[in-house]
Amino acid sequence: MSNSEWLQRTLGAVWHPCTQMKQHEQWPPVPISHGAGVWLYDFEGHRYLDAISSWWVNLFGHCNARINEALRDQLERLEHVMLAGFTHEPVVRLSERLAALAPRGLGHCFYGSDGASATEIALKMSFHFWRNQGRPGKTSFLSLANSYHGETLGALSVTDVALFKDTYAPLLREAAQVPSPDARNGAPGESARAVAERAAQALEAYLAVHHQRVAAFIVEPLVQCAGGMGMYDAHYLRRAREICDRFDVHLIADEIAVGFGRTGTFFACEQAGIRPDFLCLSKGITGGYLPLAVVMTTDPVFAAFYHDETSRGFLHSHSYTGNALACRAALASLDIFEQDGVLDANRQKADYLSARLAPLEGDPRVRNLRHLGMIWAFELADGGASPLRVHEEGLRRHVLLRPIGQTIYLMPPYVICEPEMDFLADGLWGVLQAL
């Protein structure tokens, strides 16, 4: 079968996500036959460098031999068993290992499937905790301007991206937003730390008035990814932790995108030295293989549900909660982190790619060039180009880019090597020339 045959069949049968399907008349989806490392191959032998890790999930390349082998082994033992009333080896091992890696004291793992399900779990759990504590009036949630926490109705309520949210506004719970510490919001000459402090003061002022009704404040630590890779100073997280403690409000860290080494530390919260009350993980957790999400929480939260009365328990579930294959992929991925010293290796890779991208700094088409860990981003100067145009020019140069508005970003798999980084940097440069 050729690319064009798969294209015709997909347009006839598959409704693609996050897509105005009519735009596929001009920008058709790319049929992928197989993957290897950072490369995706179509049915006619063309390859594309996956510069965005397939929506930020892939860590160790496509068709990674070690993850494949672990999954083959798991397939011969157990593919899945319901996690209510049962348990299994991969889910126990994964929970123990995550607890050892996360900020101390997050020893209870509750599983879901996609990232949005982790957001839903954290929100419901926070509300239910307060209810069990005799404070049923804590029914609202707070999030940051320009935040993203997923597309299901609860998650969308705490999301602040107009394009995804406005249409569904009549269906959503009210949730307030406080100013974002995004360094791009700075006045000329204002430091990232000063922007963070200014945003923290706004949070403080909001909670001083509304804390009795607020169950939790949810944040994406260090990088608001879907909001255009907005990066901010860790000072904000330290202040948010202290303010939430003072006002009896839970702090939910949504590390669905930034967890698992993406910002340079294993978890982004480490850079602020804080422990959230809930830590939401998904995306990279399985190395980009299978859907899996987890919400990690503390002894006090767990204890508030532990009771003779059934309804005081957390009765939430998804059919595939704690799927054995997904947990096994996650374990194989954690093995790679340990065995290959991935965080150290990534620092060297990041230095290399940053040096290759340095010429962008002075380019008049480029604004706010920034970098953290294995994320690079910049905005196209005013009157830039449509994201689809950038995508198209990227494909022409065998690089898979998917800009967010005027933000072009790179979030490559960690297995990228120096010649591949050269290819990526050259491709990006070529795209800029072509716009």
Binding residues for ligand PLP (CB under 6 A):
114-116, 119, 148-150, 220, 225-226, 254, 256-257, 282-283
Q: Which are the contacts of 214, defined by CB distance < 8 A and separation ≥ 6?
A: 138, 140, 141, 142, 207, 247, 249
The residue with its CB nearest to ligand PLP is 115
Nearest distance from C-beta of residue 117 to ligand PLP, angstroms: 7
Q: Which lies closer to ligand PLP via its Cβ, residue 121 or residue 421?
A: 121
Q: How far apart are the first and last CA of the chain?
A: 33
Nearest distance from C-beta of residue 148 to ligand PLP, angstroms: 5
Nearest distance from C-beta of residue 397 to ligand PLP, angstroms: 26
Tell me the CB-side half-sphere exposure of residue 160, using CA atoms within 13 A.
18
Q: Which lies closer to ligand PLP via its Cβ, residue 279 or residue 385?
A: 279
Q: Which lies closer to ligand PLP via its Cβ, residue 53 or residue 119?
A: 119
Six-digit token string for 265: 């530390």
Q: Which lies closer to ligand PLP via its Cβ, residue 119 or residue 297?
A: 119
Pair 199, 191: CB distance under 8 Å:
no
Nearest distance from C-beta of residue 116 to ligand PLP, angstroms: 3
Q: Which lies closer to ligand PLP via its Cβ, residue 148 or residue 423?
A: 148
Q: Which of 139, 105, 132, 136 is nearest to 304 (CA)?
A: 132
Q: Which lies closer to ligand PLP via its Cβ, residue 74 or residue 113?
A: 113
Where residue 128 falls (left for φ over 0; alpha for ψ -120 to 50; beta otherwise) is alpha
Pair 238, 273: CB distance under 8 Å:
yes
Nearest distance from C-beta of residue 55 to ligand PLP, angstroms: 7
Q: 193 by DSSP, 3-state: which? A: helix
Q: Please report the DSSP string for 194-238 in residue order.
A: HHHHHHHHHHHHHHHHHGGGEEEEEE-SSEESTTTSEE--THHHH
Nearest distance from C-beta of residue 236 to ligand PLP, angstroms: 16
